[in-house]
């Protein structure tokens, strides 16, 4: 029997979340962010499920080519642009759009003589100080790009919000003002809003929004979860119990004896660990679901297994379903317990985890049980 550890991706949830973005930003077009293997969900399958999006955004050319190989013809925006002539030519052949954020990229486009020109986005650094040109240069650079031989007009502009997930932080309002001032006198399409901007900053919606984590059913805000934003989590990470152990009061469990049984009790051993992407630093008391009921992590996470406190679950047995996160146990809750963010957990699912797809309105957790039947 093969190892039961798997991730179920609910394609219906992805489409629901895309529609939720349209409801939140009805006047904007949607650039669905599917970088990092679609936040760990599988780039080709996610892009296919999100075919109603107006465009896709990825970090690099390799990710764009995966979408093209899946047969999709949407515009694909390379958020980090390209860095040499060979990449420029490959991007042009595959109908990609480039973000230009560096003087060398601008020079590359001005010097290039290629068969197919490209649509480009000029990135302005409005205050995040990661990528982009100073706002004072926006007009001059926009005109230079518009005159470049390799560039297809019109040139669009974008920026990125650094603190939109902190609703009380004044930095977002300052960034919006900075970008608006940089756009003065420029008639061009704009893109500003990330997931948090879509939810909390309507003034940032502009012409294009760039949802990322929202599409996967996860809230960008600390202390909230996807369901509270009207979303459906797209991934359920699950496994099964492979052993039920009786331990006596005072006996230690796992590496280093980091947890000691407070009484005579049963623990369950579930086939998942940091080798699958479950966080090694998840502490005692991190919740899991065993047959839909809450149980608690005990002892250290090992490469292939975790131990679960089965007090209160007297009928638990080998083969029972264990859910690590999903619609009934939000990944946001697991991330808080482990001192990390949901993005890291989703992106960190490893290659040995078996992926399967469902396309139905029922929760992925229930579908997982039937899929593994």
Q: Is 4 within the bounds of a domain?
A: no
Q: What is the pLDDT of residues 24-51, one digit of tens each?
A: 999 999 999 999 999 999 999 999 999 9
CATH classification at residue 194? 3.20.20.10
Q: How many domains does the chain have?
A: 2
Q: What is the pLDDT of residues 214-241, one digit of tens each?
A: 999 999 999 999 999 999 999 999 999 9
Judgement on whether residues 110 and 197 belong to the same structural domain of the protein? yes
Judgement on whether residues 155 and 280 belong to the same structural domain of the protein? no
Judgement on whether residues 165 and 246 belong to the same structural domain of the protein? no
Q: Is 223 within the bounds of a domain?
A: no
Q: What is the 3-state secondary structure (H, E, C) of 190-247?
A: EECCCHHHHHHCHHHCCCEECCCHHHHCCCCCCCCCHHHHCCCCCEEEEEEEEEEEEE
**Quick one: pLDDT band at residue 367, thresholds 50, 70, 90?**
very low
d(CA 314, CA 131): 55
Judgement on whether residues 354 and 286 belong to the same structural domain of the protein? yes
- If one counts every other C-beta atom within 10 angstroms of the C-beta of residue 228, the result is 12
Which residues are designated catalytic?
35, 255
Mean pLDDT of 339-352: 97
Judgement on whether residues 252 and 207 belong to the same structural domain of the protein? no
Judgement on whether residues 198 and 278 belong to the same structural domain of the protein? no
Q: Is 140 within the bounds of a domain?
A: yes
- Give the model's pLDDT for residue 1: 53
> Exposed, middle or buried, 94 (CB in 10 Å: 0-12/13-18/19+)?
middle
Q: Judge whether residue 82 has pLDDT over 50.
A: yes
Q: What's the pTM?
A: 0.94
Cα 324 to Cα 27, 84, 188, 355, distances in angstroms: 37, 42, 45, 15
Domain housing 105: 11-218
Alpha helix locations (H) across 161-265?
A: 171-182, 195-200
Q: What is the pLDDT of residues 148-175, one digit of tens each?
A: 989 999 999 999 999 999 999 999 999 9
Q: Is 345 within the bounds of a domain?
A: yes
CATH classification at residue 282? 2.40.37.10
| % of the chain residues with pLDDT over 90 | 94
Q: Is 229 within the bounds of a domain?
A: no
Judgement on whether residues 175 and 213 belong to the same structural domain of the protein? yes
Judgement on whether residues 70 and 198 belong to the same structural domain of the protein? yes
Q: What is the pLDDT of residues 238-253, one digit of tens each?
A: 999 999 999 999 999 9
Residue position matching structure tokens 């939000």? 330
269 bridge partner residues: 243, 307
Judgement on whether residues 23 and 77 belong to the same structural domain of the protein? yes
- Give the model's pLDDT for residue 303: 98
d(CA 259, CA 256): 8
Q: Which two tokens stand for residue 198?
A: 């879509």
Mean pLDDT of 201-207: 98
Judgement on whether residues 126 and 198 belong to the same structural domain of the protein? yes
Query: Closest Cα partner for 253 from 243, 267, 270, 271?
Result: 267
């Amino acid at each position: 029997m093969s190892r039961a550890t798997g991730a179920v991706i609910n394609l219906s949830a992805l489409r629901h979340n895309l529609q939720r973005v349209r409801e939140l930003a009805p006047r904007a077009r949607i650039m669905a962010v599917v970088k990092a293997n679609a936040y760990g969900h599988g780039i080709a399958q996610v892009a296919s499920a999100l075919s109603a999006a107006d465009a896709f955004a990825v970090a690099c050319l390799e990710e764009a080519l995966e979408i093209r190989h899946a047969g999709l013809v949407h515009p694909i925006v390379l958020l980090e642009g390209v860095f040499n002539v060979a990449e420029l030519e490959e991007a042009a052949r595959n109908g990609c759009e480039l973000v230009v954020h560096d003087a060398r990229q601008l020079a590359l486009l001005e010097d290039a003589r290629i068969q197919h020109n490209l649509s480009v986005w000029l990135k302005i650094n409005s205050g995040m100080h990661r990528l982009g040109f100073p706002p004072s240069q926006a007009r001059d650079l926009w005109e230079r790009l518009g005159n470049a031989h390799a560039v297809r007009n019109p040139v669009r502009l974008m920026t990125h919000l650094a603190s939109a997930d902190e609703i009380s932080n004044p930095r977002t309002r300052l960034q919006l003002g900075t970008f608006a001032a940089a756009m003065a006198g420029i008639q061009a399409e704009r893109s500003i809003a990330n997931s948090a901007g879509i939810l909390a900053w309507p003034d940032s919606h502009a012409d294009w929004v760039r949802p990322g984590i929202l599409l996967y059913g996860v809230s960008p805000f600390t202390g909230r979860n996807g369901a509270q934003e009207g979303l459906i989590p797209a991934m359920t990470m699950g496994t099964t119990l492979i052993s039920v152990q009786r331990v006596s009061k005072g006996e230690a469990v796992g590496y280093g004896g980091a947890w000691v049984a407070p009484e005579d009790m049963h623990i369950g051993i579930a086939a998942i660990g940091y080798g699958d992407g479950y966080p090694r630093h998840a502490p005692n008391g991190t919740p899991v679901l065993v047959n839909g009921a809450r149980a608690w992590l005990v002892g250290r996470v090992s490469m292939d297994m975790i131990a679960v406190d089965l007090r209160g679950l007297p009928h638990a047995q080998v083969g029972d379903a264990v859910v690590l996160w999903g619609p009934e146990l939000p990944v946001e809750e697991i991330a808080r317990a482990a001192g990390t963010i949901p993005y890291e957990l989703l992106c960190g699912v490893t290659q040995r985890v078996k992926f399967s797809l469902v396309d139905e309105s029922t929760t992925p957790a229930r579908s997982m049980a039937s899929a593994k039947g």
